[in-house]
Amino acid sequence: MKGSDFGRYPKVKKVGGNKPVDELIKELKKDAPPYSDYRERSLKIHGLICGRCGREFDHTNRHLLTVHHKDGNHLNNPPDGSNWENLCVYCHEEEHVR
């Protein structure tokens, strides 16, 4: 080992090397587990509306709409969306406080 390899903190190798950030993000998304895009699919299936309070959302405030897994299992993402419920952040918080 070189003298510069020693010191207070060990040198860490870069995982991505010199790849551009966009390329690294594409690689990470490619390795994502199947059905990891459940939020977008749920919003498309169930619409931009809270399933509890009925508040409607649009492109300006859709970030306040979340997807609740009815059975509590975040890995249970059926293609038909039967385990999802779109809830606004307030109703979602209330659901998990119970």
At 28-64, the pLDDT tens digits run: 777 666 556 899 999 999 999 999 999 999 999 999 9
Structure confidence at residue 8 (pLDDT): 75
Structure confidence at residue 6 (pLDDT): 60
Residue 10 has pLDDT above 90, yes or no: no
| Counts for the chain of helices (H) and strands (E), in that order | 3, 2
Rounded average pLDDT over 54-75: 95
Question: What are the two backbone dihedrals, phi and then psi, of residue 7, each rounded to the nearest 5 degrees?
Answer: 150, -170
Q: Please choose, from the candidates 60, 62, 55, the residue with its C-alpha nearest in 3D space to the C-alpha of residue 94.
A: 55
pLDDT > 70: percent of the chain = 77
Q: Tell me, yes or no, if the pTM score tops 0.75.
A: no
Which pair of tokens denotes residue 42? 């749920």
Measured CA to CA, the distance from residue 49 to residue 67 in angstroms comes to: 11
- DSSP letter (8 states) at residue 85: E
Rounded average pLDDT over 74-91: 94
